[in-house]
Amino acid sequence: MPFPILPLIYGVQMSESEKQRKTKEGDLSEDSLTEKPQIKGEVLDSYFFNSESIPVNVKITRERSDFVPSYNLFIPGLGEGTRLVLNTLKAELVTEVKLSVSEMLDTKKAEEVKAKFIAKALTILSKNFPNLSESTKMVLASYLIQNTLGLGDLEALMHDNQLEEVAINNSHDSVWAYHKKYGWCKTNIYIRSENSIYDYSSMIGRKIGKQINTLNPLMDAHLPSGERVNATLFPVSNMGNTITIRKFSQNPWTISRFVESGCIPAEVAGLVWLCVQNEMSLIVAGGTGSGKTSFLNAIATLIPASQRIISIEDTRELTLPSFMHWVPMVTKEPNAEGKGEITMLDLLVNSLRQRPDRILIGEVRKQREAQVMFEAMHTGHSVYATIHADNSQETISRLTNPPIDIPKQMLDSLSGIIVQFRQRRLNLRRTFEFSEITQSGDANTLWRLDVKADRMISSGRMSRLAEKLSLYSGLTQKEIDADVKQKAEIIGWMAKQKHTDVNVVGGIVSRYYQTPGEITELAAKGKPWREG
């Protein structure tokens, strides 16, 4: 790391005269980058990550007077004086790089545009501060780019893989972040004005053809990298303008990662795998933030690589192994004139004309979507979808009552329901239930979480699911039990060997379908997987 860690915004206070002198004289040198951060309270955790070319240090602390942890983010060389100097160069950078509006908004040219800005930023820094080292110039150039093309002070938060959510409530309070381990935390980052919050929202909207203004004060959007964004404007949000960003996972969830984290036991994971292998349709239910889409992603890695997969989402969140035969599709909202909308139903109907073997649906919300989905199941397609519901019985109730209102007899084509659960008090995510669907359309719960003991226990005997497996694959109950046990051992082995990457898990599963003996032998001997 080329130089000491400094506070992003408020860690070091400087006198007004000193700030003005640094800005006026361009006093930026290696020695000017040595201010020390000030940390208050007990340090709960500390770690480093890279925000593109910028090394970042995070310290999570707690003071006795605070009821929530503090997320303190520090970047080398970016104290208040340095920031003031760099901000004077932003206008020069924008003026020097000649780009059209269409080039700036074209996501396909993002890397090309960024490269042009980086080259020009390094030239400007070299001209103004020739004594800085090359590594220092690269850090400062990256900061300039993030504040010119990106989300400014939020960019570092967006690159922390430990964060799930970033929330701006107004310009008076600090930015909040949801940490995977510590829950909601106050950060040491502040957005300086309501106009700045509006500018961020407007910039995000422009890139995907949306507007947010006093006539349209609510906006749902997404970043080019996949993160979901919700923005609101005052006075709809009474305390000020807001932005909420649900981060896109850079490390997609796999079944072995679920087992490794204690979310689901290997025995239940093995049963899920057996269902997927034999083309049984499943629904993943759960509350907000319980891990429904993550589990849907884990299911997708268990699909044979020889089969064609169509995924349908409002915003791209699924990530499948790179070698899969996969066509991802996303909905499209209408333009300002109310034209050009592409709904989930449009995509679902269209997907049936693409000869899919498997269909993944981000979330079922409406009656017509559910009708087409169950019709697809009845015509021999394997469908995997998510729905908001807290348990298996509630899932059945949601499906068979308005607004979805599917006839109960149609549920027979659905083989199982997996319920994800979020324990907010302890900040844990667990699989709560696995239920089969009986011929009458009711749920028979096979596994359920004992919340006090924090483990799933067997709560029922498989019947309808065993009948389907026997009918379509010829397996006896004894063979089903043996197959589930074998798959559980393989998933447990993958978890122990830290084989949790989406491509690695997909590769192991695909190899198992080709030569099961090879994978079962590796698992039995506890040897690591070596691709190829």
CB 183 within 8 A of CB 426: no
Name which of 48-57, 145-154, 469-478 the model is least confident about.
145-154
Residue 532: which pLDDT band, with cuts at 50, 70 and 90?
A: low
CB 80 within 8 A of CB 87: no
497-529 pLDDT per residue, tens? 999 999 999 999 999 999 999 999 999 999 999
53-86 pLDDT per residue, tens? 788 899 999 998 899 999 999 886 666 677 777 7
Residue 143: which pLDDT band, with cuts at 50, 70 and 90?
A: confident
Residue 23: which pLDDT band, with cuts at 50, 70 and 90?
A: very low
Q: What pLDDT score does 77 carry?
A: 60
Q: Which two tokens stand for residue 48?
A: 């480093």
The CA angle 385-386-387, to the nearest 5 degrees, is: 130
Q: What are all long-range contacts of 287-292, with beta carbons under 8 Å and residues at least 24 apart?
A: 287/388, 287/390, 287/420, 287/421, 287/422, 288/388, 289/164, 289/422, 290/420, 290/421, 290/422, 290/429, 291/253, 291/263, 291/420, 291/422, 291/429, 292/363, 292/386, 292/387, 292/420
Q: What is the pTM of this model?
A: 0.80
Q: How many other CB atoms are found less than 10 A from the CB of residue 370?
A: 24
Q: What pLDDT score does 78 carry?
A: 67
Q: Has residue 21 got a pLDDT over 70?
A: no
CB 11 within 8 A of CB 74: yes
Q: Which two tokens stand for residue 367?
A: 């009656």
Q: What is the mean pLDDT of the chain?
A: 87
What is the arithmetic mean of pLDDT over 477-486?
A: 96
CB 430 within 8 A of CB 417: no
Q: What pLDDT score does 100 carry?
A: 65
Q: What pLDDT score does 103 carry?
A: 64
CA torsion through residues 476, 482, 487, 491, sign: positive
Residue 484: which pLDDT band, with cuts at 50, 70 and 90?
A: very high
**In this structure, what are the phi and psi dihedrals at residue 436, rounded to the nearest 5 degrees?**
-95, 160
Q: What pLDDT score does 17 carry?
A: 46
Residue 105: which pLDDT band, with cuts at 50, 70 and 90?
A: low
Strands 443-450 and 455-458: antiparallel
Q: Please name each of the domains of the chain with its CATH number.
A: 5-160 (no CATH), 166-175+189-248 (3.30.450.370), 255-525 (3.40.50.300)
Q: Which two tokens stand for residue 476?
A: 């006896």
Q: What pLDDT score does 10 carry?
A: 33
Number of residues in the chain:
532
Q: What pLDDT score does 457 carry?
A: 96
Q: Has residue 29 got a pLDDT over 90?
A: no
443-456 pLDDT per residue, tens? 999 999 999 999 99
The CA angle 199-203-204, to the nearest 5 degrees, is: 120
Q: What pLDDT score does 333 carry?
A: 79
Q: What pLDDT score does 107 carry?
A: 66
Name which of 314-318, 335-339, 381-385, 430-434 the model is least confident about.
335-339
Q: Which tops the pLDDT comparison, 455 or 27?
A: 455
Q: Which residues contact 447 (CB under 8 A, 6 or more apart)?
A: 268, 271, 431, 433, 434, 456, 457, 458, 459
Q: Which two tokens stand for residue 220?
A: 């749902």
Q: What pLDDT score does 314 carry?
A: 86
Q: Has residue 18 got a pLDDT over 70?
A: no
Q: What pLDDT score does 7 carry?
A: 34
Q: What pLDDT score does 36 carry?
A: 53
Q: What SS3 class is residue 490?
A: helix
What is the arithmetic mean of pLDDT over 307-327?
A: 93
Within 172-290, residue ranges assigned H as helices are: 194-207, 255-260, 266-277
Q: Has residue 199 got a pLDDT over 50?
A: yes
Q: Has residue 147 got a pLDDT over 70?
A: yes
